[in-house]
Structure 1
Amino acid sequence: MKWIDYRLPIFSFMNHELHEYPTPRNLNYWWNFGSLAGIALVIMIVTGIVLAMQYTPHVDYAFQSVERIMRDVNYGWLIRYIHMNGASFFFIVVYIHIFRGLYFGSYKAPREILWMLGVIILLLMMATAFMGYVLPWGQMSFWGATVITNLFSAIPFVGESIVTWLWGGFSVDNATLNRFFSLHYLLPFIIVGVVVLHLIALHRFGSNNPLGIDTKGPQDSIPFHPYYTVKDLFGLGVFLIFFAGFIFFAPNYMGHPDNYIPANPLVTPPHIVPEWYFLPFYAILRAVPDIGLFGFTLIEAKLAGVLAMFGSIALLFVLPWLDNSPVRSGKFRPIFRQFFWILLIDCIALGFAGANPPDGIWLIIGRVATAYYFLHFLVILPLLGRFERPRPLPSSISEPVLKGGSAAAGATAKPMEKA
């Protein structure tokens, strides 16, 4: 190892970054979800490579090849269910990771690029998941691909050309399936590259922490190993229990039954919906009406919905500058904390609105929730940063711990004295 390390210092690098790396001593279990996301990505890549060995990217054979994997390939059913449910669990972990960052202000200076790289990872995940959903070539795969790719036709002048380029022809057909399969296989490795940059940016200034203040010295930090490796392993164990529960007892719970029907361009499903992790964005897409002035339509609903959907993610890129509060953590921002929970409820409401037809009460809920989503980031956060009075911050990470420790010690000492 010394011989190799002298010429290629990989062991020194791993020891510094994974063993000696100083980490804030007050990280809680909400910080487990970063490592869980990395593990979920590895699971998806490994199972995807194995599935690609048996899959046939052709419109005449794709559905049958998936059925063959499920029925004839040794443990093919298990590998496919791990991959299928792994996508959902990957998004669950990443969404929790994002909301943790929102609550504790992990997007604030000097971690703006770290946050933006995370948003890029989310976009790449969405593209990968969408293309992967098309591959089984079931009814929902085909019609989901048709509806989503058709959105680009709303772009003035070049929209139709973009759609034709995406399809590789004039309809969703064999060329579309081939290029989606190729990109679905490629994009996870691009995600790995962005994750590496994400980790480099993370280690540049270290992890944020629940207090949202920087470490002041050795008393505020501990080595990553063994303290947080053990914590991450415990979190992984809990994660795998839930993951295995869905794989073995409810493997199709988060899927759609129509995708077990072969794709038929002549039969349109009564209600076309994407996978659950796209539903909030799907609700935003459908919630925006025509935008006009004095009876003239300036922006049609289709284009307005596309702009709103992509704008909802673009807002996350500029979030570090929208929230101008000097305090990071929501622990010390009582009003911000209330609006954070309203935002979480709002996103859940968008998910339910996206899962239902866009009419009646669900259309109203979708429009109200969409309006609040943009209001939260564009109006409420800047105003909170200007007018909210945060609670005073502790002078260091160790101060609350030491104060709690001394208080606890005093409380136990008094009964001893009486005894």
Structure 2
Amino acid sequence: MDHLVLEVGTALVLVAIAALLAGKFNFSIIPFLIILGMLVGPHAPKFAVIDLRFIESEEIISFLGRIGVLFLLFYLGLEFSIKKLIKSGRSIFTGGTIYILINFGLGLLYAWIMGFPLLEILIIAGIITISSSAIVAKVLVDLRRTGNKETELILGIIMFEDIFLAVYLSVVSGLVLGNAASLMGALTSILIALGYMLLFFIVARKATPILNRLLDISSNEIFIIVVFASLFFIAGFSETIHVAEAIGALLLGLVFSETEHSDRIEQLVVPFRDFFGAIFFFSFGLSIDPFTLGGAIWLTLGAVILTILGNFIAGMIAGRRAGLSHKASTNIGLTIVSRGEFSIIMANLGIAGGLMPVLKPFSALYVLILAILGPLLTRESKNIYKFLDKTFKWSQKTSKVRDPASG
């Protein structure tokens, strides 16, 4: 433990280097952080007191990364309002259902075609289905798209995915680990997740005056302590009832967005969001051993292509069903393509259950590729839309519908 602080400091220096490189190339910081994290870790060398293996500090860096996810989702919640989400409730349910059905169905079909046994099929389908809420949140913030109309639906799909994940994990873990996964258990998971989210919606609608009085604190020091204490407690409590801690942070952000203190909270959170968020992506790269990725290249490339197509189709259908334009619908499909923490959780479940070893390199390489491609595709969504519009003539068809006389 003698060099713990030095190791953490070294990690922060590497994070700073990645940030400087990203700024120099005017690109998303996420790929730089993940790749730099991969280059160090247990397989890296040690130079005198500078230990790039991060053995002693691995747990603390990982914990700081978890904090980063909480701040990312909390901030994303602050950018929205419960009223907007409730108004879009039907579109969110429809869009979330479409998204899960298409991507989960493609995951099952792909794993089956590749000849995997039943349990491996279920794990691979789970890996392919769930997008990364942390990466999606970071990209939306970086590209300043939190105010876009389609972002409400993206946010709703993220929450819908969490309900699916809670249920799916409870069922699959029972099958893989040998526990009895009953229908009643799955229904209980659904009801708990839905009830928990509903509770936050009620609090936001009915208890805003009380929250305004409680948060009416003149001292910034005391104010930030109260806000952060609420954030970490709610996130931790969410995890105990099998709702992702990041979703708990998102829900609390939605509640605070309804108060008259939302702007003040947002200004205080931004530096913490950027700092700890960067550590999350570095720690994510740190968990990937590049020397283990070679055994699943073709399996992974097929899954990546399938995921991009599935997400685009699902986003397009969901967006159009919600009355959004082709451009906004394109943004949806390209924004939610990133994969991350939830896919790794699914893979770790399979490894813990003694399933095929290929799951580990497959999940790591799959997540790595989409964690890099996701922000890139989102950033270039405008150009991708223009290319597709030239092919399918979406804008011309829309103008004809608006002005029948033009035909």
Which TM-score applies when normalising by structure 2?
0.28
Q: Which one has a bigger Cα radius of gyration? A: 1
Higher relative contact order (CA 8 A, sep 6+): 2
Instruction: Name whichever structure is richer in helix by fraction.
Output: 2
